[in-house]
A = this chain, B = another copy of it.
Amino acid sequence: MIYLDHAATTPLDPAVFEAMLDFLKPGGVHGNPASDHVEGKRARQAVEQARADVARLIGAEPGEIVWTSGATESDNLAIKGAFEFYKERGRHIVTSMTEHKAVLDTCRYLETQGAKVTYLRPGADGCVSPGQVLDALTPETVLVSLMWVNNETGVIQDIAGLAPALREKSILFHVDAAQAAGKVPIDLRAVPVDLLSLSAHKIYGPKGMGALFVRKRPRARLAPQLHGGGHEQGMRSGTLPTHQIVGMGAAFRVAGQRLSADHEQLGRLRDRLLERLRALPQIFVNGEGAPRVAGVLNVSFAGVEGESLRASLPELAGSSGSACSAGTGESSYVLRALGRDDDLADASLRFSLGRATTQAEIDAAAEQVVGQVRRLRTLSPLWRESA
């Protein structure tokens, strides 16, 4: 099994695993961070340390980090919470067609609650330009939600180019950075984003753990979406899962140390993979020409059918589309928004590399893909006719 699905999820970094163990193992720290006693206090200290670690990677203050159960919840909290809080100001939201489902489905839900949503179509390279966003604003616009890095193509949006213009107009800016943190430098001191979603399990932290950055100056306000004990400054109730939080903190700490090494290493392997895949004619890199993160390569293969392509590669754990909408059997809405027809969108593979990916794996993956695509093309009457 060659695991090239790190954009779906990653294994724990060994340091993350070790850090979590202390809060899981028999005899470890197991108190409820909300408890007043010594056991609780020890847990609380670990939680606050992790908060500082997460904040540091993105140039935020610890007090601006709200723990959640993952980026899905962060996206929901940011978008619904901001809409609920600010809807008297206006009810128009701007987002893009290539956002993650956690953003798109949330926006669709808000449409049933009186929101008007503009879904921008990116260019063929996957980029949504700042100008495009600014042109879509109306006096009613309260919120723009745009992802920093796309989970299927790895395309990096120009968040830094857009944020100041939105700040100037006092329009709230939410950024889904689930695929960006630890992969592109993020400095929220310099980039006036108001809300930013994070996930641990995309960068070697635990699944089921995330955070939302909520800016304090100027203060972004949210209506809470999970009501209860009033944890997290009232923004998100629920017992804090110490081990998960500690894992996320450790993952973000490691990510800060490895950001440029990862970038260099994954970029080199990604380039090698593409070079080898180029042995095949008629392949198309999705997001070609756009700035992209180092670890993701998404390629469409003309003349083969998607399901057979995937079935031909049982030893390759890659992905077609996002794991988050996999299992639905639909071809990727992201690739279709970039103008790929249904067949090509369906005959696409996302290779997402990770820290443990080796050159041998890349070479083996390339060999398997090239071989299987050739085999299916030889079988295909469409390919024969187009030849």
Contacts and interface: CB of A to CB of B under 8 A. Distances in A.
Contact of A8 (B32, B227, B325): B32
Contacts of A70: 238-239, 241
B324 A72 contact: no
Interface in A70-87: 70, 72-73, 75-76
A316 B37 contact: yes
Interface string A295-312: 000000000000000100
A241 B229 CA distance: 23
Given A20-B24, A228-B106, A229-B325, A207 B317 contact: no
A122 interface: no
A108 B12 CA distance: 40
A148 interface: no
Interface in A205-256: 206-209, 225-231, 237-244
Copies of this chain, count:
2
A342 to B, nearest CB: 19
Contacts of A327: 34, 36
Contact of A227 (B17, B36, B105, B244): B105
A182 interface: no
B101 A229 contact: yes
A1 interface: yes
Contact of A241 (B30, B207, B326): B207
Given A239-B207, A242-B207, A105 B11 contact: no
Contact of A323 (B3, B8, B34, B319): B34
A126 interface: no
B319 A35 contact: yes
Chain A: interface size category? 35 or more
Interface in A1-30: 1, 3, 5, 8-12, 14, 17, 20, 24-26, 28, 30
Contact of A17 (B9, B24, B326): B24
A98 to B, nearest CB: 15
A215 B213 CA distance: 36
A32 B1 contact: no
Given A24-B206, A240-B207, A323-B32, A38 B72 contact: no
Contacts of A102: 227-229, 237-238
Contacts of A10: 30
Contacts of A31: 3, 5, 8-9, 317
A8 to B, nearest CB: 4
A361 to B, nearest CB: 14
A370 to B, nearest CB: 19
Given A5-B31, A34-B323, 17 more contacts: A3-B39, A5-B37, A8-B31, A11-B26, A12-B26, A20-B24, A24-B206, A32-B323, A34-B326, A36-B323, A36-B326, A69-B238, A72-B229, A73-B226, A101-B227, A106-B228, A241-B244
28 contacts: A1-B38, A3-B31, A5-B39, A9-B35, A10-B30, A12-B26, A34-B323, A36-B319, A36-B320, A36-B327, A38-B314, A69-B208, A70-B239, A76-B226, A101-B229, A102-B237, A102-B238, A201-B239, A206-B243, A207-B239, A207-B241, A208-B239, A208-B240, A208-B241, A209-B241, A225-B225, A228-B324, A229-B325
Interface of A: 1, 3, 5, 8-12, 14, 17, 20, 24-26, 28, 30-32, 34-40, 69-70, 72-73, 75-76, 100-102, 105-106, 108-109, 199, 201, 206-209, 225-231, 237-244, 310, 314, 316-320, 322-328
